[in-house]
Amino acid sequence: MTERPEHESAPAQRPQTPARQRRAHTTARDLERYAGLFADRTKVMRSSAMRDMMEITARPEVISLAGGLPDTSTFPSDSFAAQMTRIAQESAAQALQYGPTEGFARTKECIREVMGAEGMNPDPDDIIVTTGGQQALDLITKTLVNPGDVVIAEGPTYPGVLPTLYAYEAQTLQVEVDEDGMRVDLLEELLDRLHAEGRRPKFIYTVPSFQNPAGVTLSDERRRRLVEIARERELLVVEDNPYGLLRYEGEPEDTLYKLDGGDFVIYLGTFSKILSPGIRLGWLCAPPPVMEKVVLGKQSSDLCTSTLSQYFVDEYFAEGRWMAYIESLRGVYRSRRDVMLDALERHFPTEATWSRPEGGLFLWATLPSYIDTTDLLARALRDNVAFVPGAGAFVDGRGQSSMRLNFSAANEDEIREGIRRIGRVIAEQVELYGALNRDAEPAPREESGPGGEVVPMRRRPGSR
C-alpha cells in the first residue's frame, strides 16, 4: 500500500504528548468555559465524511477505498528532485518570499495551458491561484452566500463541499443525479418553485465530469441546457472540474465554462489530481466584479498561495512533460477501475448497482435499501477495509444504502481484496435480512425523490 506520512498514523500508535493527555481529560466544565466564546456559526459547522475517516484509513493494515487520493508514488522522484534543486539554486530568495494574492503570472500561464487542453482560453486577469480547489470553494461561498441563502448542489454531491456550505450557513438543496449527471429537468422545476417563493439561489454547484462521488458525467445536451438556464435566469453556476483530464475512454464534452464564455459560469480547477495534492495549488476563474471580492476574501484568508509551490509548478511545466504524466496516470487508473468493476461483478450481490465511470477516481454503488452503509462501514472496518458511506454526500441523511468507492489510491491486488471483503460483509447482511424476513413480504424498494435518494446506475452492457 501507499506509505502514509507519520502524522497520519493511528492514534493508538501515537506517543502521549502533554497536549494529547490534556485533550483526553477535557471535562464538561472545560468545554462550557470555551462554549460561551464560540461564534454562532460554529454550531452549524460539520466535519466532512472523508476527513473524519482519514485517521482510521491511514492504518497500514486497512485497505482504503475511502479517500480520494491520487497515487503520488507514480510521480518520478528524480524529476521532483531536479526541479526543487533548480529552484534552490536559481530562485531561492523569490521562492521563499511572499507573492501576489492573485498568484504569479507564470503560474497563471500553466493554468491556461491546462485549461487550453480542455478547449478553454481564460483571460489571465480572470484567474486567481488558490490553495487547492477547496479554498476556491471556500472563497466563492464566502463571497456569495449570506446565512440562509439557497445553494443548489447535485444529490449526491462532493462530500467536501458540505462543510463549506454549512460553515457559511447556506440552505443546500440537492438535485438528483442519474447516469447522465444532474437531472437538469428537475433543476428547472426546483428553480420555478424557488422563483414562485421569491427566492433566488446564489449558485448552482456542479462537478460535471466524472463526478465525485457518483462517477457520472453530465451529458452534452444537459450541459448546453444548464448554460442556457443560467443565462436565461441570470444565475451563477460553479463548475468544479478536478477530473476532466482524467478520461479513460469516450469523447470529451465541452466544459460549461467554455460553453458559457465565463459570464455566468465560475470555474474551479486544481493541480491535485493531475500532479499533486500536497502542493495545495488550485485556481478559480470568475468575471471581474466577482474576482475583486474573491481577492479581498483571499487576503484575509492566507495573503497568498504558497510561492514555493507555484515555483515548483512553473518549473514542472517548463519541462513540457506534464501531459505525458497525465497520460501515464490515465493508464494506471483505467486498469484499477477495470479491476474494481470486475471485482464488483464477482463479489457484490445481484441486487446491487453501480456506476461505470469513464474517468475520474470514484464509482458509486447502491445496495438493497435495507442495508445502511454507515453501519456496514463499522463492520467492514473490523475486516480492515474502508469506503465512504453515501449519507456523507447528502445534507439530509439520504444515500444511506449507497457507498463511494475510490480506485486510484490502492493497487490492483488491494482493490480485488478490498472489494472481496466488502462483498463478504454485504453477503452477511443479506443473509441476516433473509433469515429475519423469511416468512415476511420483501421490503419494498424506496422510490427516489427529487432530492436524489438512491441513484440506480446503468450497468455495464452485458453485465447481470
Closest approach, Cβ 420 to ligand PLP, in A, equals 26
392 contacts 159 by C-beta, under 8 angstroms: yes
Region binding ligand PLP by CB under 6 A among candidate stretches 93-101, 131-139, 214-222, 327-335: 131-139
Among 99, 103, 122, 133, binds ligand PLP (CB under 6 A): 133
Shortest Cβ distance from residue 408 to ligand PLP (Å)? Answer: 10
Mutual orientation of helices 412-436 and 373-382 as an angle, nearest 10°? Answer: 120
Enter the DSSP assignment of 213.
T
**And the C-alpha cell for 443?**
421490503
Sign of CA dihedral 115, 120, 125, 127: negative
In this structure, what DSSP letter does residue 88 have?
H
Q: Which of 53, 111, 207, 363 binds ligand PLP (CB under 6 A)?
A: 207
Establish if 257 lies at the interface with ligand PLP (CB under 6 A).
Answer: no
Helix (H, G, I), strand (E, B) or coil at 42: helix
What's the Rg (C-alpha) of the chain? 23
- Tell me the closest approach of the beta carbon of residue 241 to ligand PLP, in angstroms: 8
CA–CA dist 360, 115 (Å, integer): 17
CA 146 to chain centre: 23
Which part of the chain contacts ligand PLP (CB under 6 A), choosing from 56-64, 127-135, 419-427, 456-464? Answer: 127-135
The DSSP H or E segment spanning 165 is helix 162-167
Which of 103, 277, 392, 423 touches ligand PLP (CB under 6 A)? 277
206/429 with CB nearer ligand PLP:
206
Among the listed residues 8, 12, 16, the one whose alpha carbon sits nearest the alpha carbon of residue 51: 8
Minimal distance, residue 362 CB to ligand PLP, in Å: 8
Cβ of residue 37: shortest distance to ligand PLP, in angstroms?
A: 29
Tell me how far, at minimum, the Cβ of 183 lies from ligand PLP, in Å: 19
Dihedral over Cα of 234, 235, 236, 242: its sign: negative
Among 103, 122, 155, 160, binds ligand PLP (CB under 6 A): 160
Among 57, 64, 255, 270, the residue binding ligand PLP under the rule CB under 6 A is 270
305 binds ligand PLP, rule: CB under 6 A: no
* Positions 218 through 247 that interact with ligand PLP (CB under 6 A): 240, 242
Q: What is the distance between the alpha carbons of residues 286 and 142, in angstroms, rounded to a whole number?
A: 14
C-alpha grid cell for residue 449?
425523490
156 binds ligand PLP, rule: CB under 6 A:
no
Q: Is 357 in the site for ligand PLP (CB under 6 A)?
A: no
70 binds ligand PLP (CB under 6 A): no
- Is the CB of 103 or the CB of 423 nearer to ligand PLP? 103
Confirm or reject binding of residue 168 to ligand PLP (CB under 6 A): no
Q: What DSSP letter does each residue of 286-332 carry, written as one string?
A: --HHHHHHHHHHHHHHHSSS-HHHHHHHHHHHHTT-HHHHHHHHHHH
Q: Which residues bind ligand PLP (CB under 6 A)?
A: 68, 132-134, 158, 160, 207, 212, 240, 242, 270, 272, 277, 282
